[in-house]
Chains A and B, each alone.
Chain A
Amino acid sequence: RKEVEQDPGPFNVPEGATVAFNCTYSNSASQSFFWYRQDCRKEPKLLMSVYSSGNEDGRFTAQLNRASQYISLLIRDSKLSDSATYLCVVNRDDKIIFGKGTRLHILP
């Protein structure tokens, strides 16, 4: 089992809809959690850090569930520009593990 797993998608979602995806991690000692977005043939960009209390940034909400060992990303009122690959990143003992990403396509 991979240490960080994501549904690769693609998620095809109409503009304006709400979309959510999860990322599961297998090691309970994992300490820090992040969501990055990566556009095609570009570098990843930090979207949000994920805190135990959950955090929100505009249309984006990230949550951490330590008991079930997953993090989630919710995007409300999706825009065409949200189309990208969303990477889940977990940090444990100075190791950084990337999920393979979830592809999101927002449809006009």
Chain B
Amino acid sequence: GAVVSQHPSRVICKSGTSVKIECRSLDFQATTMFWYRQFPKKSLMLMATSNEGSKATYEQGVEKDKFLINHASLTLSTLTVTSAHPEDSSFYICSASKDRAYEQYFGPGTRLTVT
């Protein structure tokens, strides 16, 4: 159990457009979902934490108007990168947690390239 899917796995978009990434917990209800980005050969950087039905909590330095997070249900969270720029190109990974023990189950990631 504890499978998390992410869609799309790879996306290339033009500068100025918006991109939506979906994260789903397939076989469990996720009380909390997390969004990360990772640059090549670097560690994961937590962007925001979201609980179903409430506003996401963003980490310092992450623009909430640029990275819109919607956690519509206990199995779905979306991240929308608005007006994407080349510097937004990165590997975006979501994770989901069943409970407050904070064991996280990660999605396979979305590789975003902004041209």
> Which residues of A are in contact with B by a Cβ distance under 8 Å?
32, 34, 41-46, 49, 87, 89, 91, 94, 96, 98-101
Chain B residues with a Cβ closer than 8 Å to the other chain, count: 18
Contact of A91 (CB < 8 Å), options: B43, B93, B102, B106: B102
Cα of A32 to Cα of B104 in the assembled complex, Å: 12
Residue ID in chain A nearest B59 by CB atoms: A95
Tell me whether B8 is interfacial, beta carbon within 8 Å: no
> Which residues of B are in contact with A by a Cβ distance under 8 Å?
34, 42-44, 46, 49, 91, 93, 95, 101-109
Cα of A103 to Cα of B109 in the assembled complex, Å: 20
Decide if A94 touches B49 in the complex (CB within 8 Å). Answer: yes
Decide if A87 touches B43 in the complex (CB within 8 Å). Answer: yes
Residue ID in chain B nearest A40 by CB atoms: B41
Residue ID in chain A nearest B93 by CB atoms: A43
Decide if A49 touches B103 in the complex (CB within 8 Å). Answer: yes
Decide if B102 touches A32 in the complex (CB within 8 Å). Answer: yes
